Amino acid sequence: MQTADLATSLGTGAKVKLAEGIRDSFTQDGAVLLDIERGLCLSLNVVGAKIWQMLKQDWSGDQIVATLEQEFSETPRAQLQQDYIDFLRQLETNKLACLQKRRTQQVEPLGKVASGVAVRGG
Protein backbone atom coordinates (compact mmCIF):
# COMPACT_ATOMS: atom_id res chain seq x y z
CA MET A 1 0.00 0.00 0.00
CA GLN A 2 1.38 3.43 -0.93
CA THR A 3 1.83 6.21 1.67
CA ALA A 4 -1.13 8.22 0.32
CA ASP A 5 -3.39 5.13 0.46
CA LEU A 6 -2.28 4.38 4.01
CA ALA A 7 -2.95 7.96 5.12
CA THR A 8 -6.38 7.93 3.47
CA SER A 9 -7.43 4.60 4.92
CA LEU A 10 -6.29 5.63 8.42
CA GLY A 11 -8.61 8.63 8.23
CA THR A 12 -11.58 6.56 7.03
CA GLY A 13 -12.13 3.96 9.71
CA ALA A 14 -9.23 1.56 9.20
CA LYS A 15 -7.95 -0.05 12.39
CA VAL A 16 -4.42 -1.03 13.31
CA LYS A 17 -4.45 -4.60 14.59
CA LEU A 18 -1.57 -5.31 16.97
CA ALA A 19 -0.01 -8.75 17.11
CA GLU A 20 -0.93 -10.86 20.10
CA GLY A 21 1.58 -11.92 22.72
CA ILE A 22 3.81 -8.84 22.52
CA ARG A 23 5.13 -7.80 25.91
CA ASP A 24 6.08 -4.20 26.61
CA SER A 25 7.99 -2.37 29.28
CA PHE A 26 7.94 1.43 29.61
CA THR A 27 10.56 3.79 31.03
CA GLN A 28 11.03 7.55 30.99
CA ASP A 29 13.15 7.10 27.85
CA GLY A 30 10.59 5.10 25.82
CA ALA A 31 9.72 1.44 25.76
CA VAL A 32 10.91 -2.02 24.86
CA LEU A 33 8.68 -4.44 22.94
CA LEU A 34 9.37 -8.15 23.29
CA ASP A 35 8.16 -10.78 20.87
CA ILE A 36 9.17 -13.89 22.79
CA GLU A 37 7.97 -16.34 20.11
CA ARG A 38 10.13 -14.76 17.39
CA GLY A 39 13.01 -13.73 19.66
CA LEU A 40 12.73 -10.00 18.88
CA CYS A 41 13.45 -7.08 21.17
CA LEU A 42 12.48 -3.64 19.81
CA SER A 43 13.46 -0.37 21.42
CA LEU A 44 11.10 2.62 21.07
CA ASN A 45 11.83 6.26 21.77
CA VAL A 46 9.39 8.36 23.83
CA VAL A 47 7.18 9.19 20.84
CA GLY A 48 7.08 5.58 19.67
CA ALA A 49 6.14 4.49 23.19
CA LYS A 50 3.27 7.02 23.27
CA ILE A 51 1.99 5.81 19.89
CA TRP A 52 2.22 2.16 21.00
CA GLN A 53 0.19 2.94 24.16
CA MET A 54 -2.49 4.70 22.12
CA LEU A 55 -2.65 1.84 19.61
CA LYS A 56 -3.11 -0.60 22.49
CA GLN A 57 -6.09 1.50 23.60
CA ASP A 58 -7.57 1.22 20.09
CA TRP A 59 -7.19 4.91 19.24
CA SER A 60 -7.71 5.94 15.62
CA GLY A 61 -4.90 7.37 13.53
CA ASP A 62 -6.54 10.80 13.60
CA GLN A 63 -6.78 10.70 17.41
CA ILE A 64 -3.13 9.71 17.73
CA VAL A 65 -1.90 12.42 15.36
CA ALA A 66 -4.09 15.05 17.10
CA THR A 67 -2.64 14.06 20.48
CA LEU A 68 0.91 14.24 19.13
CA GLU A 69 0.09 17.62 17.59
CA GLN A 70 -0.97 18.97 21.01
CA GLU A 71 2.17 17.66 22.69
CA PHE A 72 4.60 18.64 19.93
CA SER A 73 2.99 21.88 18.76
CA GLU A 74 6.19 23.08 17.08
CA THR A 75 6.05 20.18 14.62
CA PRO A 76 3.74 20.52 11.59
CA ARG A 77 0.76 18.13 11.52
CA ALA A 78 1.85 16.73 8.14
CA GLN A 79 5.21 15.71 9.63
CA LEU A 80 3.55 14.10 12.65
CA GLN A 81 1.20 12.16 10.38
CA GLN A 82 4.13 10.97 8.25
CA ASP A 83 6.07 9.95 11.37
CA TYR A 84 3.02 7.99 12.55
CA ILE A 85 2.70 6.23 9.19
CA ASP A 86 6.43 5.41 9.18
CA PHE A 87 6.09 3.96 12.69
CA LEU A 88 3.17 1.77 11.58
CA ARG A 89 5.23 0.49 8.66
CA GLN A 90 8.00 -0.50 11.03
CA LEU A 91 5.54 -2.38 13.21
CA GLU A 92 4.16 -4.18 10.16
CA THR A 93 7.61 -5.05 8.85
CA ASN A 94 8.40 -6.61 12.23
CA LYS A 95 5.04 -8.44 12.20
CA LEU A 96 3.79 -6.48 15.20
CA ALA A 97 0.81 -4.86 13.45
CA CYS A 98 -1.31 -4.81 10.31
CA LEU A 99 -3.96 -2.50 8.89
CA GLN A 100 -7.49 -3.85 9.14
CA LYS A 101 -10.50 -2.30 7.43
CA ARG A 102 -13.35 -1.98 9.94
CA ARG A 103 -16.18 -2.81 7.53
CA THR A 104 -14.84 -5.97 5.91
CA GLN A 105 -12.24 -6.93 8.52
CA GLN A 106 -9.73 -7.51 5.72
CA VAL A 107 -6.10 -7.26 6.70
CA GLU A 108 -3.80 -5.24 4.45
CA PRO A 109 -0.05 -4.71 4.70
CA LEU A 110 0.95 -1.28 5.95
CA GLY A 111 3.87 -0.81 3.55
CA LYS A 112 7.64 -0.85 3.58
CA VAL A 113 9.75 0.28 6.52
CA ALA A 114 11.35 3.72 6.67
CA SER A 115 13.04 4.16 10.07
CA GLY A 116 12.40 4.43 13.80
CA VAL A 117 12.60 1.27 15.89
CA ALA A 118 15.76 -0.56 16.75
CA VAL A 119 15.51 -4.32 16.29
CA ARG A 120 17.63 -6.72 18.27
CA GLY A 121 17.67 -10.48 17.98
CA GLY A 122 15.95 -12.35 15.29
Instruction: Encode 107-116: b = buried (16+ Cβ within 10 Å), e = exposed.
Output: eeebbebeeb
- pLDDT tens string 49-100: 999 999 999 998 989 999 999 999 999 999 999 999 999 989 999 999 988 7
Give the per-residue pLDDT at 14.
73
CATH for 3-121?
Answer: 3.90.930
Give the per-residue pLDDT at 76.
94
Contact between 70 and 61 (Cβ < 8 Å):
no
Asked whether the predicted pLDDT for residue 112 surpasses 90, the reply is no
Asked whether the predicted pLDDT for residue 104 surpasses 70, the reply is no
